[in-house]
Amino acid sequence: MKLLKPHWVTHDGVPIFSIDIHPDGSRFATGGQGKDSGGRIVIWNMGPVISEEAEKNESHPKMLCQMDNHLACVNCVRWNSSGKFLASGGDDKLIMIWKISQSQTGSSSVFGSGGKVNVETWRCNFILRGHGGDVLDLAWSPHDAWLASCSVDNTVIVWNALKMPEMIAILKGHTGLVKGVVWDPIGKYIASQSDDKTLRIWRTADWKQDAVIHEPFEECGGTTHVLRLSWSPDGLYLVSAHAMNGGGPTAQIVEREGWRQDKDFVGHRKAVTCVRFNSNILQKSYKSSTKPQQYCCCAIGSRDRSLSVWLTSLKRPLIVIHDLFNNSVLDMSWSFSNHRLMACSWDGTVAYIEFSEEELGKCLTIEEKNTLHERMYGKNLSASLCQTSVVECSELIGTTIKSESIVLSKTANHSDHVDKPVVPTSPMKGPINKQIETRTSDGKRRITPMYIPPAPDSIDVPVPFGSANSQPTFSSSSEPKSRILIEKRDDIVKPNVSIKTSYTSPQKVVLRTDYQLPNKNSKDKPLSASEIPMGAEHANP
């Protein structure tokens, strides 16, 4: 195991509230406070974190982009599973959807940052407005069909990620601040945790409550900034943040079958703030068994400044790191393809932990994972986009449940329907490499404007930094000369300018005084309008 804390990953000393690793592992995003009480999002290069050689190499930038668009602190940043979009939510009640832009090449300085340079350009594509208070947590659904957000306004909002900024549903039921939200990896449920001492599970088929869990949270107080809960990748376990058992803080394990709550993770001295499962299902061979054992891996962060990593196959934690930070752990993120874990803290620092395959185990392939899901739920997750009706019993596979179909048909409406994204069938033309130039009669040059079509949307996906297709280049050589062909035309174009030579002098205005005007100091009766002679107001000389 490797453990390090890159000192250069910072928001100028202020708290970092959220962290998330890009699905391809090439970059990670942090969200938190910025200068002047604003919000800040920073996208960092993962290369200098992993490699000491890359960290010392000045040609490998550490910061890729900084965005200060949020008006208040950013509480959560989350990549979607494709890595094309980054969602951010903050104290300004807004959710912003970011996308990399290929239209601008080269680097640009960050205003007021003391020399920091953006080598990537990320633009806000959508702003989602709907919450009446601070947005505390975000979660993309499987296959990126929906985006869920929770807020201090006691609600969870489900957005249509394929028709931004369309709102699908508002989940009401909590009576306190909602501080965490997570999707069932099978796509059948969504769970939320609140300061009202409940964990609520909602059905995605009709957006109604399926269960409300009270008991493990009755002794809890609202002492944590967030309550980031997590669902295991096999869908069997939902692990909550702050819970209590026997007067001590725990992370409650809620089993999918019957929502049982008879197990928990124990050991932290203060409230659990965040839980994050590795998205991979792991397996390891043991001498006592001929068949490899499959399990999941979970990281837990707490207000006691420590972090623990658990395997569902073991009764004790794999590792506990005490005093990792100087303040509360606020968020964690696992890389998709490697055993890498990152965590951020209120003290404004970030920690990086890398495990070996011998320590954590071997990841199941996508095919093996889909086979497992089919065996457990009768559903191949890679083959369905946003189907919410799941038969959770292998004996019932192949049968049709009429009652469920009726419920779905009654509750479905235009907002519940998710269309597939439209992909242009014909390739777009490249930029025009020809320029038409003419001369006016006074010798000035005129260039005919040419329409330059935008780049195809399909290429606006971030690629690993340093690859052949990566956008920024850092060569010190001079730029190549333009190869645009200039077509010069001999036609003389007369400028379309008209000059007026006639001039009309203004008429003089003379005020006649041979009639009496109203006067407050005069005792005489003022003239009425009918008594004023014609032409008395203005007369020509």
DSSP string, 374-408: HHHHS--GGG-SS-------GGGTT---HHHHHHH
Q: Which of 90-99, 138-147, 161-170, 463-472 is least confident?
A: 463-472
- What is the model's pTM? 0.74
Asked if the model's pLDDT at residue 156 lies above 80, the reply is yes
CA distances for 335 relative to 20, 238, 342, 517, angstroms = 9, 20, 8, 89
pLDDT in tens, 300-344: 999 999 999 999 999 999 999 999 999 999 999 999 988 999 999
Share of residues in the chain with pLDDT > 70 (%): 70
Bigger pLDDT: 235 or 486?
235
Bigger pLDDT: 114 or 177?
177
pLDDT at 515: 46
Helix-strand-coil split of the chain, %, nearest 5? 10, 35, 55
Asked if the model's pLDDT at residue 419 lies above 80, the reply is no
SS3 144: helix
Q: How confident is the model at residue 201 (pLDDT cuts 50, 70, 90)?
A: very high
pLDDT at 289: 76
> How does the average pLDDT of the chain come out, rounded?
81
Q: Which of 110-114, 146-150, 280-284, 289-293 is least confident?
A: 110-114
Question: Which DSSP letter does residue 60 get?
Answer: S
pLDDT in tens, 248-271: 999 999 999 999 999 999 999 999
pLDDT at 411: 40
pLDDT at 466: 57
Mean pLDDT to the nearest integer, 518-539? 51
Which helix (H) or strand (E) element contains residue 56? helix 52-56
DSSP 360-377: H-EEPPHHHHHHHHHHHH
Asked if the model's pLDDT at residue 475 lies above 60, the reply is no
* Domains, the chain, with CATH or none: 2-363 (2.130.10.10)
pLDDT in tens, 488-508: 666 555 655 555 545 555 555
